[in-house]
Amino acid sequence: MQAPGPPLRMPAQTSQERAWTAMAQSMAGMIGVPGRRLSGTGAWRTVIGMRHDVVLYQGEALGRYGFGGGHPFGPDRLSAFLAELARQGLDRAVRTAVPVAATDEALLRFHDAAYVRRVRLQSLSGGGFLDQGDTPAVPGLFDAASHVVGSVLAGAALLLQGEASRVFVPIAGLHHAKRASAAGFCVFNDIGVLIESLKRQGLTRIAYVDIDAHHGDGVYYDFEDDPCVVCADIHEDGRFLYPGTGAREERGRDAGAGRKLNIPLAPGAGDREFMAAFGEVEAFVRAARPEIILLQAGADSIAGDPLAHLALTPEAHRHATKRLCALAGEYAQGRVLAMGGGGYNRDNLAATWTGVVRELLADR
């Protein structure tokens, strides 16, 4: 674990960038609002003249999501990634957008109203936990968590409106949060809010791929019976790692039966095992003919993470991103929204997320 770094300071934006990010901010509240369908043939179609930008959400409001005091999910994670992105010169290849706060209406698409009120009140002064001991209610946490959700929604709106083809939100992918509680460092489930919002826009084939070391239980169980959501999750076997779920036999239920794929890996599994598993994921996602692909690219599956026991290299995440971008090009008009997810070794997450961005940019 590393101590939190200094406050993240972003370079000033140009006038062109300011105008563009203002437009992105205005879109954050649009996706999923009744009566505001997207233009084109069907609610989910993009507008004519799609931009081929890769958009990166970055800024202090996202960097503040973290817990400090030696907590593994510290507020220095974003700055560690951005330093490596700049070192490799990729910061100049992406289009940046400022973080966006979600409205209460957006949060309530997935979360219970009483829980949203509790997070707001408990984070005013801080103190205590929002779960059984993993997720402290630090001051300002409501605002930081709201910016995670809002940035993901804004990024999705850019994709659906044809203003970008790929989006990366590094501090996002909080896949453990439940509708009425926090869990595993996750306050609001940005993925759950996004899926509910995409469904309101008429999407019926949403692919969610999760390669974080921990099973995405907060997404899987809430959409277990939903045929519109195709989930594929590669993770460390739950018999050895939190949250203890995601067995092979869990493939959805009722109307969602057969629309979910869980592939647990044994502790110590490396790239060879991952590549074999991802071949299965790729075939599964292809069969669904997705309209959009969501990737949770947690870096805690890389060898040396303090909270997991897998032994992947960043090449695994690059491979997954490359193959999902290819699938999106075939079926989803190129639309990929990637989220950073977990990862508690700063060198690992910096290298892994930078590799994800490199693949998002590969054919732009």
d(CA 31, CA 36): 8
- Specify the 3-state DSSP secondary structure of 193: helix
Q: Is residue 313 part of a domain?
A: yes
Which residues of the chain register pLDDT less than 50?
A: 1-12, 15-17, 19-20, 23-24, 33-49
Cα 208 to Cα 13, 226, 232, distances in angstroms: 32, 12, 6
Q: Is residue 163 part of a domain?
A: yes
- The whole-number pLDDT of residue 316 equals 98
Contact assessment for residue 103 and residue 32, using Cβ atoms and an 8 Å cutoff = no
d(CA 305, CA 172): 18
- The whole-number pLDDT of residue 50 equals 57
DSSP 277: H
- DSSP characters over 316-338: HHHHHHHHHHHHHHHHSTT-EEE
- The whole-number pLDDT of residue 101 equals 98
Q: What confidence tens digit (pLDDT) does each residue in 169-218 have?
A: 999 999 999 999 999 999 999 999 999 999 999 999 999 999 999 999 99
Q: Is residue 109 part of a domain?
A: yes
* Best CA proximity match to 156, nearest among 324, 62, 295, 342: 295
Catalytic residue among 175, 176, 235, 317: 176
146's tokens:
């709201």
Tokens 């959400």: give the residue: 57
Q: Is residue 348 part of a domain?
A: yes
Strand residue runs (E) in the chain: 54-57, 95-97, 166-169, 206-210, 229-236, 260-265, 292-296, 336-339
d(CA 106, CA 38): 17
d(CA 47, CA 26): 17
* Number of domains composing the chain: 1
Q: What confidence tens digit (pLDDT) does each residue in 96-105 have?
A: 999 999 999 9
d(CA 180, CA 155): 25
Q: Whole domain around residue 88: which residue ranges?
A: 50-360
Tokens 């949403």: give the residue: 206
10 Å CB burial of residue 133 (0-12, 13-18, 19+) is exposed
Q: Is residue 356 part of a domain?
A: yes
The neighbour count for residue 96, using CB atoms within 10 Å, is 17
- The whole-number pLDDT of residue 42 equals 32
The neighbour count for residue 251, using CB atoms within 10 Å, is 15
Residues 6+ apart with CB under 8 A from 130: 118, 119, 122, 136, 137, 181, 182, 187
Q: Is residue 159 part of a domain?
A: yes
- The whole-number pLDDT of residue 52 equals 72
**Using CA atoms in the order 138, 221, 62, 211, what is the torsion angle rounded to 10 degrees?**
120
Q: Is residue 28 part of a domain?
A: no
- The whole-number pLDDT of residue 331 equals 97
Q: What confidence tens digit (pLDDT) does each residue in 122-155 have?
A: 999 898 999 999 999 999 999 999 999 999 999 9
Assign residue 66 the CATH number of its domain: 3.40.800.20
Known catalytic residue: 111?
no
Q: Is residue 246 part of a domain?
A: yes
pTM greater than the 0.85 cutoff: yes
168's tokens:
């990366």
Contact assessment for residue 8 and residue 60, using Cβ atoms and an 8 Å cutoff = yes
DSSP 91: G
Strand residue runs (E) in 72-215: 95-97, 166-169, 206-210
